[in-house]
Structure 1
Amino acid sequence: MGERVKKRDVPEVLRKLLNADVHLTKIFIRYMERCMPFEQVKVHYKMLEVSCHGVFWIASWLAFVWVLNSSNLYQMQVNFIIGLLLDIVLVAVIKAITRRRRPAVNDDPLAMGPDKFSFPSGHASRSMFVVYFFFNLWPVSWIFRLPMLAWLVSVCASRILLFRHYLLDILAGVCLGILEGLFIGLIYLDQETCVSLISWISDEKVEGGEYHV
């Protein structure tokens, strides 16, 4: 038999921080379960999980671009999907590096590779990026802002109550989502570039694009 893989040596300060995170997460879950009957609302947590899944967002957003096919929306659509792809890559890389185990076994059938790990929360980073984008980069009407904030908070809370993440995972995910929003704001592609990208990807002459004739 080969030599067993040596367990990683976790620094004492980090170990104490992680233990405190586990303890506070348990307190939070106990408090929330006293405030609401967990089993009766668990189906809503699962719906929130699906509503912020990376596969769901990429697939639905590509369909959104294809169905509407409006050059007026291409700038928003292209920059947004760049942010989604960036989020998926960053979360996967960080999870592969940290390899923190989830509080419970992940029964998500779409989970694979780094997504089996806990830190940071991809749902938290993705929901935070979505809210940041539509609050700051492509501002929506105030009518939609309160529901979006409620969705963000609900997604983050549900990740803990479903035993997918610890509090620190959620906090790191929210911070990551803000940083992603700031980065997309810095590189925000102009209308002509986005129209040209859609034209190149779809192999069609899109009105307003560099190659339109």
Structure 2
Amino acid sequence: MGQKREVPKPLQQLLAWDVEVTNAFVKFVETKCGPMTNYKGYLKGLEYSCHGIPWFLFTGAFIFYVASPSLLQLLVNIFIALVLDVVVVAVVKAVSRRRRPQGNNTKDMFPTISVDKFSFPSGHATRAVLLTSILCLQYNLWLPMSVLVSAWGGAVCVSRVLLRRHHLLDVLGGVAFGVLEARVMSWLWLSQHAAQYVVGCFLDETQAGASYDV
């Protein structure tokens, strides 16, 4: 008990390669665009925009105030997707236990849970891909909005490497898990009636009837 876990040599080589490629990618971007410190405000904005805590808080709050059945359906399904994402990422991180890159500054990170000290997979990447898939595919957004949301999701993923929060394989793994989560959500997707019923379970009968008369 308490012994350090032995990592198989092939995996050690893969992780070492990942560190080298990640460093090379960041240096390449800095050569073309300048030091990332010049863009830290933008990168941090992307980080905050996809953090789980604000998404949980705002989604949970708006669920009880929207009048549109279709919007209610979207919010309820997004909330379920966020719960699924947290569970998947927490379990995989607890198993993988990969440390974050050496250049990561933990002091300027948004509040995190203990398992978030681990790096694989990138929770921001899983969440960005999951939300992008839900909004663009499952909810069938207007095409220009779909382009903007997809660009946001891609920018969030790239920012995780440029901020030194994750290695490239952490982000690619996050993308893969995000795609799988989106697939699962397509099977679990609640109808408008089911979403109204779920919300109604948290309200008294009078409120539920008043909220969902159409």
- Whether the TM-score (by the shorter chain) exceeds 0.5 is yes
Correspondence for 1:25 among 22, 25, 30: 22
Q: Structure 1: how far apart are the matches of 2:25 and 2:150?
A: 20
Q: How far has the Cα of 1:72 moved from its partner?
A: 3.3
Report the more deviating stretch, 196-205 or 18-27: 196-205
Report the more deviating stretch, 106-115 or 148-157: 106-115
Show structure 1 runs of 5+ residues with no match.
Answer: none
Report Cα offsets for 1:125-155 as digits up to 9, x if no partner. Answer: 0000011111221110001011112111211
Q: How far has the Cα of 1:208 moved from its partner?
A: 8.5
Change (3 A) 1:54 1:83: same
Asked if residue 55 in structure 1 is aligned to residue 53 in structure 2, the reply is: yes
Give the RMSD, CA atoms, in angstroms. 1.7
1:69 paired residue number: 67
Contact 1:75/1:191 (<8 A) preserved:
yes
When the two structures are superposed, what TM-score results if normalisation uses the length of structure 2? 0.91
Q: Structure 2: how far apart are the matches of 1:109 and 1:174?
A: 21
Report Cα offsets for 1:139-187 as digits up to 9, x if no partner. Answer: 1000101111211121111111111000000001011111111001012
Q: Structure 1: how far apart are the matches of 2:147 and 2:119?
A: 28
Contact 2:136/2:149 (<8 A) preserved:
no
Asked if residue 206 in structure 1 is aligned to residue 182 in structure 2, the reply is: no
Q: Structure 2: how far apart are the matches of 1:158 and 1:84?
A: 20
Alignment of 1:149-164 (within 5 A): 149-164=150-165
Correspondence for 1:35 among 32, 35, 55: 32
Over the matched positions of the two proteins, sequence identity in percent amounts to: 37
Asked if residue 14 in structure 1 is aligned to residue 11 in structure 2, the reply is: yes
**Code of the aligned partner of 2:99:** R
Q: Structure 2: how far apart are the matches of 1:72 and 1:109?
A: 32
* Secondary structure at the counterpart of residue 201 of structure 2: helix
Q: Structure 2: how far apart are the matches of 1:156 and 1:135?
A: 17
* Secondary structure at the counterpart of residue 202 of structure 1: coil
Contact 2:48/2:110 (<8 A) preserved:
no
**Code of the aligned partner of 2:164:** F
Contact 1:21/1:167 (<8 A) preserved:
yes
Report the more deviating stretch, 183-192 or 60-69: 60-69
2:176 paired residue number: 175
Q: How far has the Cα of 1:74 moved from its partner?
A: 2.2
Query: Could you list the runs of 4 or more consecutive aligned residues of structure 1 that deviate by over 3 angstroms after TM superposition?
Result: 206-209
Report Cα offsets for 1:79-112 as digits up to 9, x if no partner. Answer: 1210111001111111111111000342224022
2:85 paired residue number: 87
Q: How far has the Cα of 1:51 moved from its partner?
A: 0.2
1:165 paired residue number: 166
Show structure 2 runs of 5+ residues with no match.
Answer: none
Contact 2:22/2:168 (<8 A) preserved:
yes
